[in-house]
Each structure stands twice: as structure tokens, then as C-alpha cells.
Structure 1
Amino acid sequence: MPPASVGRHSSQRRESNKSNTEERIMKRLKSISLKALALVFAGSLAFTAQAQEKPGEGVSVQPAVATWTSAIPVSWVYAELLTELGYDVQDPISLQNPVAYLAMSEGDVDYWPNGWFPLHNPQLPDNWEDNGTIFDPLCKGCGIQGYLVNKEAVEKYDIEGIMDIVNNEEIRNAFDHDNDGKAELYGCPPGWGCHEGINAMIDKFDLGDRIDHVDAGYSANFTEAMSQIEQGNPTLYMTWGPSAWILKLVPGEDVMWVNAPGIVESENEKASGITGAVTDPIEMGFVAADIQVAANNNFLEENPAAAELFRQAEVPLKWISQVDGKMSEQDLDDDEVRPLAAEWIDENREMVDKWLKAAREAAK
């Protein structure tokens, strides 16, 4: 009997030990499963957070950039912002305006932030409305061209426009620096669009016997105009912005934009809100342009974060002109301009983060 009894108890103990072991294993497996689930859940949350932070992750973007120097800093601002959204932004391709719009329309280029409208309207391809979008201005009224007179002369002779100079012999003589009976207009060299524009104005309004278009190299022309102004001589010259030139002689402080007769009907439209203008609105003689982002529609549909960024971001005229000046004075290349864009973004982080937040929200 005792052996049989011992055997029974031993069997019971084995069954009990087996049960306890299985229970421990199940608890351990359950614990491991919970930890695994927690890790998966945490990883999922981290992935979701990363996706929300960088909605452009894995997307390659090809921008274009215009051929004038002040387009470059604007281009790098957008490249930096898109990079913060996770996009893989390729180096911008430098293109002439009509080629850039055609490339965007055909999907070879995704966007460029260098549209000047309405000046560029005639350069859009026929199928643009189906394939491309132009966003609200990133710099409203910043693409300006026109004529300026030193502020002292404006006030002394009560000048509002070029016609006040050429139609009054006394005033015209004050602007005549070489005593040939004509007022000097320090303009643009042959081959430039503004050279043709100035000559077209002179021809259209029969001003050839009263205005001398000085058409040397622009840097030399501007230097001469600035020298005349420093000597206190009434001076008329042509310039544009964004550019380094409007920082060397600042409209509203050193010089004033003056009215000029337009060359064609569309250019007779007056511009409002121009800093340093003698009148508001003012007839610039050239169309004042808004600087705007243009982009391919397929790219925008597939990338709502980028589309919202294009709606939100703005770049100030003064900063563009300052960087343009540095590029000229220090002979900076593209790689040296990009850090300046990153620096501007960091200096305006609170504003920039609002743009990026809106872009990330649009991607959800």
C-alpha cells in the first residue's frame, strides 16, 4: 500500500508542477506579448509622428530658378522649407521664363518661386490652366522697374514725373550734366529689356531732343548717377527691385520713384503702395509685378503639404535685395547663398513654424 500511495502522490505532484510550469510560461508569454504589442504600438506612434512631421519623406522634388540673381535667395528659402517637411529637394535648374513654365506644364519641373505677374502672363504655355497653378504673391508689388530722382531735386522743383523735367527748360537744364541741352537719363545697356523700354518711351513721346539715354554698363551708369547725387546735382536714373541698387540709394530716403508715361496700354495701369513713390498710386512706366510661386498641378495634388506651404510663405523685398547685394559684392555662388536662406528662416522661426504647421495639417 505505501508504495502505491507514494506513486499516487508523486504523480499528483508531477501534474501540479506541470500545471504551474505551464501557468508560468503562459504568464511569461503574455508578458512578452504585451511588451511586444507596446513596442509595436510605440513604433506605430513614432512612425505616425514622423510622417506628420515630415509628410514629404521619400518624395523627390525638382525646382527651377530664374536666371536673374535676386531669384536665387528666394529659391533657396523654398528649398530649405520643403526640406524641413521631409522632401528630397534637388538643386534648382536655371531656366529662362518661357522654358520654365513649359517644363512645369509638362511635369519636368515641379515648381519655381520666381514668377513675375502680370509680366509673365504672355510667357505661359497654352495649356497652363490645365496643368499649372500660380499662387498668391510671396512678395506683393516687389517686382518693380521705374525711374528715380534724388529727393532733394524732387522737393526743390516739385517734380512728380519725367514730363515735369523735360517740359520745363529750367528743370531740364538742371538735369543736363554735359551741357548738350538734354536731361541725362542713366539707363540700361543695349541688349537689356529695360534698354528697349526706355528707348520705346523716348520714341513714343518724342523726347529724343530733351532726354539723353545714357546706356553704358549698368554698374557704371549707377555709379555715375550716385556720384552726381552726392555732388548735389538733380539726377534721373532707371532701376529695379529686388536688387542691391535700391539699398544703395533707398527710395523714400535718398531718392523717389517718379511718374513715367507707359509704353503700352497695360503699362499705363498705376501701381499702389510703392515705398518711396512721389504719388500713390504711381505710373511707373513699367508694370509693377507680384512675385509668385508657380507649380505643376499633378505635383500639388500628390503633395498637399507643399501646396499649402506655397500658399503660406512670404519673403520680404528688403531681405531679397540685401542678399542680392551680398552676391554682387562678395561674388557668392549658390552654395554660399543657401546658408543665408537658412539663417533668415532661423531668424524668423516663429513665423516660419506657422507656415510649416499649416503645411503638415494639410497633409493629414
Structure 2
Amino acid sequence: MRRTLIACSLSALALLAMGAVVPALGQAADDPAGAKTVRMARATWDTGWFQAEVYRLLLMRLGYRVEGPVTMENPDFYRAVAAGDVDLWVNGWFPTHDGLIEEDFVERVGTQVDAGALQGYFVDAATAAAHGITNLGDLADPEVAALFDLDADGRADLIGCETGWTCSHIIEHQLEAFGLDATVEQVQGDYSPLIAETIARFEAGQAVLYYTWTPNWTVGELVPGRDVVWLETPFPSLPPDQSAFLDQTSIPGIPGCANDPCLVGWPPNDIRAVANSRFLEANPAVRRLLEQVVIPLGDISEQNAHMVRDQGDPEDIRRHAEEWVARNSGVASAWIEAADPAAIALDSKADGGSAAEGGVLRVAART
């Protein structure tokens, strides 16, 4: 079961705004540099906006004018990139997003983070210790589920994913597969305020139950193994389109888990760029750039921590990206050189939008 508190999508409006100024695939934009244009999107979770901004800056150094990035829900992006209405984003999670890919029109390119994106279910350590909770399946007991019942309907309230995120469907699948429909419901809405409320309840000494992922600032606020317990699942179960990854859902070295390896129920994900195939064919230098870029997981986590410490405004995210590129100027220059030795960089102030400008629709505040 699921309970949706807030549901909104600005993607269609964003594409309309974007389409009014964006040229066709591979076509040179009307700007003084005569540069080609990349129409860039980004996901609704702002823990991925830093990476999107880094790529935007690199594309500018490659000599491309960047329109966006425009914030889009997962299904909207994958439909749009397949149709050629947008060129790329760098927020693909695989295998989680495998079912959204139209293989004939869209390609995964490069690997920004290799198998470093983890997901799972968490409860506060105090409640887990007091009631012996180590497994999501423990919530089949109505008395245990009642500990996390926020709306007095007799079921535990699991703070889950936004409705447009693929993880929301996986959570629903797992609740049904584990026989938890009668005792647990997924609470959906804008993840940012929901998880902020969860942290506030934890700080007030109340029981909490939620889903989250890494890299994400949440695991720095509620630290697994100290503040919260990382729950195992009763057995591996994924939707049919991800059944090939069932043997990857048990992961060693998970902090705060009762067992090692820990059956977290989710396979590790690669974070990858996703782009329209025709666009890549027309812009081989962009392909070569995307194939090379790697952003260390620790750097992403560090930036996410800055975001939660009152540095999450668009201007802050852009500054974080600029500082990262400056600190890694040697490797960044090597990526550009390998992608196109003749590239002439554009001024980063001259593009069509960024995290600090009006070309972006801000949807999630601290996701």
C-alpha cells in the first residue's frame, strides 16, 4: 500500500520553456561563439545536482552551449530523451532505471560512480534494540508495526520515495512480496520535507522508519551503526525487469546491519550518464567526455553535507561544482583534451542556464 501526501510534476512546463529556445539535435546555437547546444536535464533529487553542475561546466569547457539543466521526473526524462526532446542527464541509476531505457534510442554512457550507490530501509537504533528489530519482515507483527504508525491507521508509516522515482515501485513490490501490505504503508510525497520531519522525530526521541540511499546527506545526519539500524529484508525480491540482479542484493560491510554480508534487498547501483543515441552520433566529443568522467563517492558525500549545512541554494551548488573542477583541474583538462584537442571553452557565464539561474525548475530542496 502507498499513501501519497504531495504529488506534482513540472517537467512538461519545463520542456515547453526549454523548447522555445533550444535548437535541433546537433545544430549550432545562435550565440557569438557559434557553439553547438546540449539540452541537459537533471533528476528531482538534489543530491545529484552537484554532479549535473560539474558536467555542465565540463561541457562548457568542451565548447558547448548548455541549455538547462531542467529538472525532470524519471519517466518524463526517459521518454523525452528517447524522443529527442532533451539530449542527456547524468543522474541515471542502474540497474534501478533499466526498465525505463528505450535501447533503440537511448544509451548509457560512462560510469560516474561504480557500484557505489546503495539503498535500503532504516529504523532508529533505540527502537530496534528495545524490540529486537533487525529485518523489515519484523514489521509483519502488528505490535511492532504500531511503533511506527504516524496516522493511527494500524500500519507502520515507511517514509519512501517520490511517486515519479523508480524506487517507489520497488518498495511497493517488496512490501507485497514480503507480505507486509496489511501492516506497512509507503508514505510518498516530496522526499525533502518528509525526511526532514523524520530527522526531527528522531531528535525528539521518537521511533522512525524510512528508506534512503547513498550518496545522500541523510546518512550523515542519521548515521547507520550509530543512530540507525540498516534493516535486512526477508529474502531477495525485485520486480521482473530486475530479477537478474537478485544475487547482488546481499552486500558485505554494511554499517548498522545485524549480519555481514547484509541482505539489504537492493543491488548496488552505478550512477551513469544517459543520452539520446542520435545526439551522441552527431556529437562524438560529448560521448568521449561522458565516457571518461568519474566523480569520487566521497566528494559527492562531502558536497551533500555542505548542502544540508545551509549551503544548498543554487548559487552554492554552482560554487561547489566550480571549486571541484578547480581542485581537479589536471584530470578535467585531460578529459577535455581526450574528448576534443581542438576544443575552445565557452565562458561559463554565457550559457543558457545553470543551478544559479532561471533556467532550472527547483523541485526538491534537500533530497
Secondary structure, in 3 states, of the residue corresponding to 2:110? Answer: coil
Which structure 2 residues correspond to residues 56-71 of structure 1 after superposition, within 5 A?
Answer: 58-71=35-48
Does residue 314 of structure 1 match 2:314? no
1:246 alignment partner in structure 2: 219
The residue that corresponds to 1:133 in the other structure is: 107
Structure 1 unaligned regions, length at least 5:
1-55
Cα deviation code 1:142-176 (max 9, x no counterpart): 4443202445776788865223565698xx49956
2:159 is matched with 187
Cα distance, 1:77 vs. partner?
0.6
Kept after mapping to 2: 8 A contact 1:184/1:235: no
The one-letter amino acid of 2:239's match is V
What TM-score do you get using the length of structure 2 for normalisation?
A: 0.63
Count of aligned positions: 303
Task: Please identify the structure whose Cα radius of gyration is greater.
Answer: 1
Structure 1 residue 125: Cα displacement: 2.8
More strand, by proportion: 2
Distance 1:307 1:216, change over 3 A: closer
Q: State TM-score, norm by structure 1.
A: 0.64
Matching residue within 115, 139, 146 for 2:120: 146
Residues 204/310 of structure 1: CA separation in 2 closer, same or farther (3 Å cut): same
Structure number with higher relative contact order (C-alpha < 8 Å, ≥ 6 residues apart): 2
Given that 2:139 and 2:184 are in contact with CA atoms closer than 8 Å, whether structure 1 keeps it comes out as no
Residue 270 of structure 2 corresponds to 290
Residue of structure 1 aligned with 2:66, choices 89, 94, 97? 89
Q: How far apart in 1 are the matches of 2:163 and 2:78?
A: 23
Q: Does the CA contact (< 8 Å) of 1:147 and 1:237 recur in 2? A: yes
Equivalent residues in 2 for 1:168-317, closer than 5 Å:
172=144, 184=156, 186-188=158-160, 191=163, 197-198=170-171, 200-207=173-180, 211=184, 218=191, 222=195, 225-226=198-199, 236-261=209-234, 262=237, 264=239, 266=242, 268-269=246-247, 270=249, 272=251, 275-276=254-255, 278=257, 279=259, 281-317=261-297
Corresponding position: 1:343 with 2:323: yes
Q: 1:161 aligns with which of 113, 135, 154?
A: 135
Q: Report the CA distance between 1:202 and its aligned residue.
A: 3.7
- Could you tell me how far apart the structure 1 residues matched to 2:68 and 2:98 are? 26
Give 5+ residue unaligned stretches, structure 2: 1-32, 344-367
Looking at secondary structure, tell me which structure has more helix per residue: 1
Residue 113 of structure 1, CA deviation: 0.9
RMSD: 4.3
Residue pair 1:201, 1:263 contacting (<8 A) in 2 also: yes
Displacement, 1:311? 1.3
Task: Please tell me whether the aligned partners of residues 145 and 155 of structure 2 are also in contact (alpha carbons under 8 angstroms).
Answer: yes
Q: CA-to-partner distance for each residue in 1:182-241, whole Å, 9 max, x for gaps?
A: 895542388575666545544443335655767787556545654665577775432233
Q: CA deviation at 1:250?
A: 2.6
CA distance in 1, matches of 2:146, 2:308: 32
In 2: Cα distance, 1:220 partner to 1:288 partner: 26
Greater shift in the superposed pair: 202-211 or 89-98: 202-211
